[in-house]
């Protein structure tokens, strides 16, 4: 699941969610709210809190390691430009380091 920090992907970002939540809290702390408005604000706050927590926490039954192939990130962007020649050459060099002493 993508966990954006902004709205670029169309999903609500964490910063925006927090801004909305703090806005709601400010309203609740302020002057007396109409009960209908209060219910709506609490419903929205519930949604936002749930949304953030679900995204941040790894599902308990998720046995997958957190490491993901870079290609997965690349595919999420709809593919990225291929490496230039120099980097292709280096990619071979990088792959060939297997067996070297590693730290």
Site for another protein, rule CB under 8 A? 1-3, 5-6, 8, 14-15, 18, 21-22, 24-25, 28-29, 32-33, 35-36, 38-39, 42-43, 45-46, 49-50, 52-58, 60, 65-70, 72-74, 76-77, 80-81, 83, 87, 90-91, 93-94, 97, 100-103
Residue holding tokens 């408005």? 37
Query: CA–CA separation, 64 vs 72, rounded Å?
Result: 14
List C-alpha distances in Å: 23 to 29, 58, 98.
Answer: 10, 27, 53
Closest CA to 17 of 61, 52, 42: 52
CB of 10 to another protein, least distance (A): 13
Query: CA–CA separation, 76 vs 3, rounded Å?
Result: 12
């Amino acid at each position: 699941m993508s966990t954006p920090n902004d709205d670029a992907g169309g999903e609500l970002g964490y910063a925006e969610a927090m801004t909305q939540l703090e806005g709601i809290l400010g309203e609740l702390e302020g002057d007396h709210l109409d009960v209908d408005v209060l219910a709506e604000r609490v419903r929205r706050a519930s949604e936002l809190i749930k949304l953030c927590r679900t995204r941040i926490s790894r599902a308990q039954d998720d046995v997958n390691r957190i490491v993901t192939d870079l290609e997965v990130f690349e595919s999420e962007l709809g593919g990225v430009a291929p490496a230039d020649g120099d980097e292709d050459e280096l990619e071979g060099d990088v792959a060939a380091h297997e067996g070297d002493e590693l730290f």
